[in-house]
């Protein structure tokens, strides 16, 4: 039987190393759409959006909510640096609903306020989507 083509995957937040494992495939929420990563991929640095990171590992599928950041693929090692990474099951639907209401109430007077409002809306909507069902 052929050995699976794996690469290293590390997910790190400011508080902790959340994940360090071997993966055969990872899908990331890039700022401009989802991107898939396989072994031997050309070097890459990508800005992340709020969304779902999906990884296929020998232990099974892993899903993590990630809150922006950056990912770098170099030499068959994918490193994800993000503000927050957690199992979607750990997300609180009620808290996400409150965050969505707060984001909708934000005023978007200048460019920075508009950007903050849009990020808060994206974050709350993704969290609600991941807690649905």
Work out the pLDDT band at 15, boundaries 50, 70, 90: very high
Assign residue 89 a region: left if phi > 0, alpha if psi is -120 to 50, beta otherwise?
alpha
Q: How many CB atoms are closer than 10 A to CB 116?
A: 14
pLDDT at 133: 58
- Across the range 48-59, mean pLDDT stands at 94
Tens of pLDDT, residue by residue over 71-109, are: 999 999 999 999 999 999 998 999 999 989 998 888 878
pLDDT at 112: 86
pLDDT at 107: 80
∠ CA(117), CA(83), CA(39), 5° rounding? Answer: 120
Burial class (CB in 10 A: 0-12, 13-18, 19+), 127: buried
């Amino acid at each position: 039987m052929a050995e699976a083509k794996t690469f290293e995957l590390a997910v790190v937040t400011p508080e902790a190393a959340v994940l360090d494992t071997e993966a055969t495939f990872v899908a990331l929420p890039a700022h401009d759409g989802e991107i898939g990563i396989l072994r031997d991929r050309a070097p890459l640095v990508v800005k992340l959006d709020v969304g779902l990171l999906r990884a296929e590992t020998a232990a099974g599928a892993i899903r993590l909510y990630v809150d922006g950041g950056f990912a770098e693929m170099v030499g068959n090692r994918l490193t994800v640096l993000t503000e927050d990474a957690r199992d979607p099951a750990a997300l609180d639907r009620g808290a996400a609903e409150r965050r969505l209401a707060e984001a909708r109430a934000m005023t978007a007077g200048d460019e920075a306020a508009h950007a903050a409002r849009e990020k808060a809306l994206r974050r709350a909507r993704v969290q609600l989507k991941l807690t649905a069902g």
